[in-house]
Amino acid sequence: MPDIVKPLSHVPYGKKFGLDTSSCGRCIGQPVIFDFRAIATMAASITMPKRPFLTLPFLLPSLTESLSIGAVRHQSSYRRTKQRLRVKPDASFGPSQQGRDQIIYNPPSSAPSVYHTPSKFLPANDVRRVMRPAAAATATADVNELPSVYKTQPERKYHLTPEDVEEIRKLRLNDPMTWSRYSLAKKFECSPLFIAKVCGASPEKKAIQKQVLEAVQSRWGPKRRMAREDRKLRREAWGRDE
Amino acid sequence: MFPGSFPVGVRKPCKWVNLKNTSITTMPVKAIKTISSARNGVGAFILQCKRLDFHYCNFGGSSRGMLSFLTKDLAAFAREHPQIEIRVSPRPAKHPVIKGHYINGHEKAICVRNLEPSEIMKKTNILKEANGEKLKRTKKPVTSLNESVRGIWSPYHGDLRGV
Amino acid sequence: MKRLQLQRWSSTALSPRVRTNNRLHQQLYSTGLRLQSTVSPLQSESAISENVEDASFQNPDAMRHIRRAHKRKTQLQYPSPPVEAATQSAKLAALHARLYLPSRLPLQTLARTLVDASADSNVDFNNESLATLGHDLLANYTSEHLICTYPRLPLSVTFAAMYAYVGPKTLAAISKEWGIDNATVPGGEVDPGFLQFQRVAPGTAVEDISQLKSARPYADQKNWRMTVSSKIFYDDEFGDAIKGSVALGQGVTDETARATFVRAVLGAIYLHAGRPAAKRFFEQHILSRHLNISELFNFSQPARDLARLCARENFEAPVAKIVSETGRKSRSPVFVVGIFSGQDKLGEGSGSSLMEARERAALSALKGWYLYTPINPRVPSSMEEEGAAPWKPAHIDLGELLPTEDG
């Protein structure tokens, strides 16, 4: 009788089913437990279909406790199993602390819909502006603490004068090979984007650059070419929100 | 795309720089052409059965119920369902058949040999109510083109809890 | 409304004098089939006139059939079914009932909506005038709905939404969902329940069908830029160049003929049953269709546009912040990036790179701006109803972000 339980009882569950609990990010804690249950149930049903329901590991008081047939014997009742499976409702659904009526708002665990206009975009005379103060309050809490997308924020100087811009234009027009966008940006301590905004490349330089690009691209094999094309297509798909 | 900075457009405007001839005009948003899809019954309801053909034989005994149905019950059925075109035609030396033609181009036929008029009426109703598609099992109680009110579940939203 | 021709069939069927293998009966039976089909019954009619001597003139059914055959011969001289044929068509009556058309709309008019100008060039018998009216009604009702419901929708997207609701493709699909079949060849003997039009010859290029007659000055300058706003003035309601009318005898495509038919039906309802019925018909058949407007957008640089929008509306500059992430160093990371203006979240997006998530977040913020809907939007035509509440002006603001010469 005891060897029926053996295959499961000697191996820690996380390792047996390839669950890597350490890789979970800071935000997805809850689903981990859920997955574990599901996988354990599934594996149990695959490996040992005849095994009684009461030996399912997640019903035990502690996961760390080693399993033996003696440990599970006192749980051999359907009622207790049901009792353990019963999940209590969230605290927010209980009677309120203040003893008065309230609206329970559980935000849906889904990405916000685009049809839900942000409060900032509502016109001044729209009633929804004043009806949504609570949601705005929750959002305000930690905007400044959220990490930025960029590692460093570039410093904005606004130091260039009209004479500098004239100089940039002259340099780029007269000697485009030496004074590329990046070299000009380095010299005038601004971003290459600013150089592009201030002056475009001359047609000759554009033609040369096109030839260089074609020469580089002609050396691409089919794999690289396809990968680049796919990347371009993916990028276009962002704009369509696909 | 733009290295370094996100709020590109909010750069302090340089009024003295003529930006006119340096760049190309780009459309902020283009549109995707598509067509709206039908939802029969949301606005108007179109009965999918557009035509019923009744075939009978004058001589054969299997058509006896059908003949009685055609002479007695069919007129009332047609009056109740004016949206169905009804054709009656003889098919000598063959069993009686009801054929339904549907808007999707399919057709369904039921052989009604030796059936009583009441049973034929049931078969007619089956054909009337069908939509011409093959019968398939529906697993979900609701099928809709609308998005779910709660959205699609995502592990990154909602009441997040740390490990 | 005569829906059944039971009498004829049942009498021939039940009469003991009729022999089933009578030559005449076979002929009549075959012509009876041809009546339903759209093949010209010329040949079979000549056969009938030869066989008339064989028939017993005492048979009233046979006489009736012969009379019908003669009548069909006179029908053949018309390009489209005669007006009195409309009351005889079971197909037409079924269509009338299937669409729940108002009883004030007679079958004769419904039959007329099914005759395209390419089948019958006589304007008194084809659907051209009705279609013109219906087209204007459709464009009016759809555009006022779109503009009042989504007052900030960009013009290009409004054009696309118009096309999705009342474009020729959609109207052709609607006519198919109504169960309309085409007549193979139009003619006076055809059942008036079929859609009748002259098909365009196979192999004809689509551009050749209609001459491009744009009112736009310098239309032949291909390199000149056409602004979206100029399309309001010069082009049709979908932002496409206005096409000239089809040359006589050239034929039309299936899609065009079907779209014209649907427009003509709405025009006919408006004429016979009035404005409320036409509006109701429009709401039930056109507006009830499913269209997700947020899927019509195609942005090229959403982040830049959002920044421009915030600058225009005097909001704080948008900043992208990571809301949550997982698997940064793995093969399949997911980043959720929110776009904030000051303390307010404008949009949120997820992607497998920070750039992607940021673009998607900016895009959702822009859609949030464009897809703003006032509470209980009303359209101007709702004032035509009895006892309508006093009109409050529709919401108007700066709305769309216009293209600028900004890199």
**Quick one: pLDDT at residue C246?**
65
Q: Is the dihedral of CA C125, C126, C129, C135 positive or negative?
A: positive
- Weakest mean pLDDT among C26-40, C93-107, C299-313: C26-40
Nearest of B99, B110, B95 to residue B63 by alpha carbon: B95
What stretches of C37-152 show up as alpha helix (H) in DSSP?
42-51, 60-75, 90-98, 107-113, 128-149
Q: Which tokens is C402 given? A: 């216009």
- Give a yes or no: residue B12 inside a domain: no
- Give a yes or no: residue B122 inside a domain: yes
- Weakest mean pLDDT among B148-152, C213-217, C316-320: C213-217
Residue where the block lists tokens 């927010």:
A92
- Going from N- to C-terminal start, the domains of chain C cover 6-77, 85-218+226-293, 297-372
Run of H or E including C209? helix C206-209
A110 SS3 class: strand
Q: Which range of residues forms the domain containing residue B117?
A: 57-129
CA dist C227 and C403 (Å) reads 9
Query: Is the CB of residue C356 less than 8 Å away from at least one CB of chain A?
Result: yes
With a CB cutoff of 8 Å and minimum separation 6, the contacts of C348 are A111, A112, C323, C336, C337, C338, C339, C361, C364
In CATH, what number is assigned to the domain containing residue B78?
3.40.30.10
Average pLDDT over residues A185-193: 90
Asked if A240 and C294 count as a contact pair (C-beta separation under 8 A), the reply is no
Q: Which tokens is A163 given? A: 């004479």
Q: Facing residues of B56 across strands?
A: B90
**Quick one: pLDDT at residue C227?**
79
Pairing of the two strands C318-326 and B107-111: unpaired
Q: Say yes or no to pLDDT of C217 above 50.
A: yes
Asked if C148 and C392 count as a contact pair (C-beta separation under 8 A), the reply is no
**Quick one: pLDDT at residue C213?**
60
Q: Which fold has domain C297-372?
A: Double Stranded RNA Binding Domain (3.30.160)
> Residue B71's Cα: distance from chain center in Å?
34
Yes or no, beta carbons of A121 and C347 under 8 Å apart: no
Yes or no, beta carbons of B17 and A158 under 8 Å apart: no
Asked if B104 and B46 count as a contact pair (C-beta separation under 8 A), the reply is no
**Quick one: pLDDT at residue B37?**
95
Run of H or E including C362? helix C354-370
Q: How confident is the model at residue C216 (pLDDT cuts 50, 70, 90)?
A: confident
Q: Say yes or no to pLDDT of A144 above 90.
A: no
In degrees, rounded to 5, the angle at the alpha carbon of residue C153 between the alpha carbons of residues C152 and C157 is 165
CA of C281: which chain B residue's CA is closest?
B44
Q: Say yes or no to pLDDT of C189 above 70.
A: yes
Which residues numbered 1-30 in C keep a CB inside 8 Å of some CB on A? none
Query: Is the CB of residue B59 less than 8 Å away from at least one CB of chain A?
Result: no
Q: Say yes or no to pLDDT of A51 above 60.
A: no
CA dist C83 and A242 (Å) reads 53
Q: Note the pLDDT tens digit of each residue in B52-94.
A: 999 999 998 999 999 999 999 999 999 999 999 999 999 999 9
Q: Note the pLDDT tens digit of each residue in C31-51.
A: 333 333 333 444 444 444 444
Across C307-324, b (16+ Cβ under 10 Å) vs e yields: bbbbbeeebebbbbbbbb
- Give a yes or no: residue B116 inside a domain: yes
- Give a yes or no: residue B144 inside a domain: no
Average pLDDT over residues A184-198: 90
- Give a yes or no: residue B115 inside a domain: yes
In degrees, rounded to 5, the angle at the alpha carbon of residue C400 between the alpha carbons of residues C340 and C232 is 165
- Weakest mean pLDDT among A124-128, C221-225, C319-323, C350-354: C221-225
Pairing of the two strands B85-90 and B107-111: unpaired
Q: Note the pLDDT tens digit of each residue in A55-113.
A: 455 555 544 444 444 455 555 778 888 888 888 776 666 666 556 666 666 667 888 88
- Give a yes or no: residue B32 inside a domain: no
**Quick one: pLDDT at residue A157?**
83
Average pLDDT over residues C372-393: 91
Give the number of C-alpha atoms closer than 13 A to the C-alpha of residue C377, restricted to the C-beta side.
15
Q: Is the dihedral of CA C184, C188, C193, C195 positive or negative?
A: positive
Q: Which fold has domain C85-218+226-293?
A: Ribonuclease iii, N-terminal Endonuclease Domain; Chain A (1.10.1520)
Q: What are the chain C neighbours of B40 within 8 Å (beta carbons)?
A: 177
- Give a yes or no: residue B36 inside a domain: no
CA dist C196 and C129 (Å) reads 16
Nearest of B58, B44, B49, B43 to residue B101 by alpha carbon: B49
**Quick one: pLDDT at residue C100?**
95
Average pLDDT over residues A223-236: 95
Helix and strand totals (H; E) in chain B = 3, 5
CA dist A21 and A26 (Å) reads 11
Yes or no, beta carbons of C358 and A149 under 8 Å apart: yes
**Quick one: pLDDT at residue A154?**
74
Q: How many domains does chain B have?
A: 1
Run of H or E including C169? helix C168-177
Q: What are the chain C neighbours of A146 within 8 Å (beta carbons)?
A: 321-323, 338, 340
pTM above 0.80, yes or no: no
CA dist A123 and C375 (Å) reads 11
Q: How confident is the model at residue B43 (pLDDT cuts 50, 70, 90)?
A: very high
Across the interface, of C167, C225, C318, the residue whose CB is closest to B7 is C318
**Quick one: pLDDT at residue C44?**
41
- Give a yes or no: residue B31 inside a domain: no
What distance separates the 2 farthest-apart alpha carbons in chain B?
100
Yes or no, beta carbons of A140 and C372 under 8 Å apart: no
Average pLDDT over residues A216-242: 94
- Weakest mean pLDDT among A169-173, B11-15, C375-379: B11-15
Average pLDDT over residues B3-14: 37
Q: Say yes or no to pLDDT of A12 above 60.
A: no
Q: Which tokens is A38 given? A: 């599901």
Arithmetic mean of pLDDT over chain B:
83
Arithmetic mean of pLDDT over chain A:
71
Asked if C131 and C137 count as a contact pair (C-beta separation under 8 A), the reply is no
Instruction: Please give the backbone phi and psi of residue A188, each rounded to the nearest 5 degrees, phi first.
Output: -95, 5
Q: Say yes or no to pLDDT of C226 above 60.
A: yes
Share of chain A above pLDDT 90, in %: 27
